Structure 1
Amino acid sequence: MQILIKIVVNAVAIWVAAQLLDGVQLAESGSTSDKVVTVLVVGAIFGLVNAVIKPIVQIFSFPFYILTLGLFALVVNALMLELVAWLADRFDLAFSIDDFFWSAILAAIIVSLVSMALNLVLSDD
């Protein structure tokens, strides 16, 4: 059940980022059920990338975290979103990010804030 909640939280966070930013596109055509499935699959890919690849990147970029007092986390989160967009393209999912600096960084901030808020509301208790 916890995994499903995490997937839904990731999906909602990515959907909010896509709604707020012009540089992030997510399932604009098709039926509502197709859009929901696309958002959930992208959320699952994002969760998988965050669980497997992000810790490895964090270990290798630890000096940058220290030098920037943690602000490098935004760059790592943006890189994870770019990786998800690349993987989504490989799976023919309608998720893309236009450019790294503005779209991906702002999307990473929005996804982090929405995920944090939803995780506070949906506590593990």
Structure 2
Amino acid sequence: MVELIVKILINAAALLVAVKVLEPAKLLSFNFGNDWWKLLLVALVFALINTYIKPIVKALSMPISILSLGLIAFVINAAMLLAVAFVSGQLKLGFKVGDYPPDLTTANTIIGALAGAVIISVVSTLASIALSPRKLM
């Protein structure tokens, strides 16, 4: 249970960093105002999508992943970020990737999803490494 809470908080921090970096270029936006619970709810949605949907997509895309030497992982991460934006739009939480929702086919949406996925991956990986217990050999 504690690991899940830590994972959600790491996701929230990574989402916030990505939004702060990409918001001036209109690639990501998150209008949560003073409602911090919206940030935690979007992070929870992000964690749930990454826990339940992403492994299925990765398993189905394994042949393409082998052929592309793993570069399809960036596209999968971007698609998961777009799924979070879709759910956030349905719940009226204020998280948008580029112009999505509602417009999925703009360059801002595609670039925002890819750049946001990279930033979130880097920040969450670094935070996970920093917070993981040290193992002595």
Question: How far apart are residue 100 of structure 1 and its match?
Answer: 3.5
The alpha-carbon distance between structure 1 residues 124 and 67, as it changes in their structure 2 partners (threshold 3 A), is: same
Question: Residues 100 and 68 (structure 1 numbering): CA distance in 2 closer, same or farther, change over 3 Å?
Answer: farther
- Find the aligned partners of 1:19 and 1:63 in 2 and give their Cα distance: 35
Q: Give 1:43-54 correspondences, 5 Å limit.
A: 43-54=43-54
CA contact (8 A) 1:27 1:38 kept: no
1:123 shift after superposition: 0.3
Question: Once superposed, what is the RMSD of the aligned Cα atoms?
Answer: 1.2
Structure (1 or 2) with the larger CA radius of gyration:
2
Segments of 5+ residues of structure 2 without an aligned counterpart are 99-107
Gaps of 5+ in 1: none
Counting only pairs closer than 5 Å after superposition, residues 1-125 of structure 1 correspond to structure 2 as 1-22=2-23, 23-27=27-31, 30-31=33-34, 34=35, 36-98=36-98, 99-124=108-133
CA contact (8 A) 1:18 1:25 kept: yes
The TM-score, its normalising length taken from structure 2, stands at 0.84
Matched residue count: 121
d(CA) in 2 for partners of 1:93 and 1:87? 9
Runs of 4+ in 1 over 2 A off after TM superposition: none
8 Å Cα contact 1:78-1:100 kept in structure 2: no
What code does the residue aligned with 2:14 have? A
**Which amino acid in the other structure matches residue 16 of structure 2?**
W
- Structure with a larger share of its residues in helix: 1
CA distance in structure 2 between the partners assigned to 1:100 and 1:68 by the alignment: 23
Deviation at 1:113, TM superposition (A): 0.1
Q: Give the percent of matched residue pairs that are identical in Structure 1 and Structure 2.
A: 37
TM-score (norm 1): 0.92
What amino acid sits opposite 1:107 in the alignment?
G
**Which has the larger displacement, 42-51 or 90-99?**
90-99
